[in-house]
Amino acid sequence: MSSRISTIIYVSLALAIVMPVQASPHRSNALGDYLRARADAQPLIPPDQLDAAENNPSQFTAHNIEETGTINGFLDAGSGRVALVTVGSDSLSVDLPASLKDASWIIQGASIRMLLSIEPPTDQTLTGRPVLVMAAPEFDVAQSDQEAAAQAAAEQKEQAERPAPVRTTLASRYMAHMRNGMDPSISLTGGHPSLDLSPQARAVFGAYRDTIRGLNGDLTDDQVDKITSSILYYSDLNRVDPRLIVAMIIAESGFDVNSTSHTGAMGLGQLMPATAREMGISDPYDPQQNIAGAVRILRGHLDNYGGAPSDAGVIPFNQIALTMAAYNAGPGAVRRYHGVPPYRETQRYVARVAALYKKMCGTGS
């Protein structure tokens, strides 16, 4: 087995979801089982980590990978039926799980999508042994992925053209907050914030400022102070852990105040134009306004998905995953799939924000 297969692994930062699909009757169960297993298996690691995996294969065994192969034949072994599968230039022999041994579509010449796990090397082998976790017809899986991608594109277009109902509600709450005079502006004097931050926020201000400065060396001192003050103030106001806000901004814009996505999302928190208008934000590229809006949106999603610690303590992963999925793909997509949608972009986004947050909380590597 080549190192290409043995080093493609998954990270442990996504939720299990079930994706409704259309397939022929005798294949629908296999496809549903496969999609559930793949959702449990987590997203692929970023490409820039593959070299590390190749150089240290022993550290990356017992993880799940996804491959497409062609069945070339079968063997009858004492433990059951074994399928001989070609993946690219590699030939694999995999034990068929009990659920697939009698499947009518498991025939010679069939193209299948496989979810594999890699057992650690033994004294007799130099590489890990592939184990088939689940499989489904390649045509059905590819068709399902295409439908999911088309649905994601349609939802993103709809989200860009019309704000989701939950965001309209958040906009109304934000505007009421502004009218009540509870949202003082941030002014800067000599590069230091004059905003009335809480004692807790002032105690960590220097650490957050140094972190943000390190994340984007192009920011001016005034911008760094304004961003830091905004994150700490609006996190305090909305009772959200500021570490989640930092993780979100890293994933959204890399702390580039002028960032604009191909869909028109703007600023640090990548607010869509319609959302910014609904929230009364006159300049989405202004750090204070952008962060104020983004934090309010996140707080609303946290409330929708089980809440968060009222004292801005560490947020449970389940709330983070659903909140960030709603922020990225919209709450409608989360409702439709009863969890994190099966969109690769959204799953990677959720995984990245969660990983950053856990690292800053000292609960993850």
> Of 14-28, 139-153, 168-182, which one has max mean pLDDT?
139-153
83-92, 244-253, 294-303: segment of lowest average pLDDT:
83-92
Q: What is the mean pLDDT of the chain?
A: 76
Which overall architecture, per CATH, does domain 3-147 show?
Answer: Beta Barrel (2.40)
pTM of the model: 0.51
Higher-scoring residue by pLDDT: 77, 266? 266
Of 42, 109, 33, nearest to 347 (Cα)?
42
Q: Which residues contact 123 (CB under 8 A, 6 or more apart)?
A: none
Q: How far apart are CA 134 and CA 121, in angstroms?
A: 21
For residues 134 and 97, the answer to whether their CB atoms sit within 8 Å is yes
16-20, 98-102, 270-274, 280-284: segment of lowest average pLDDT: 16-20
22-70: per-residue pLDDT in tens? 334 444 578 888 888 887 766 555 445 544 544 566 666 556 778 888 9
- Domains of the chain, by residue range, sit at 3-147, 162-361
Q: What is the pLDDT of residues 200-251, one digit of tens each?
A: 888 888 899 999 999 999 999 999 999 999 999 888 888 889 999 999 999 9
Where in the sequence numbering do the catalytic residues fall?
Answer: 252
- Look at residue 35 in the predicted model and tell me its pLDDT: 84
Structure tokens at 341: 């949608």
What confidence tier does 102 reach under pLDDT thresholds 50, 70, 90? confident
The pLDDT value recorded for residue 50 is 43
Residue 5: pLDDT band (50, 70, 90) is very low
Does the pLDDT of residue 145 top 60, yes or no? yes
CATH number of 162-361: 1.10.530.10
Tokens (6 digits) for 57: 């294969």
For position 162, what pLDDT does the model report? 53
Backbone angles phi, psi at 353, to 5 degrees: -60, -45
Phi–psi pair at 237, nearest 5 degrees: -60, -40
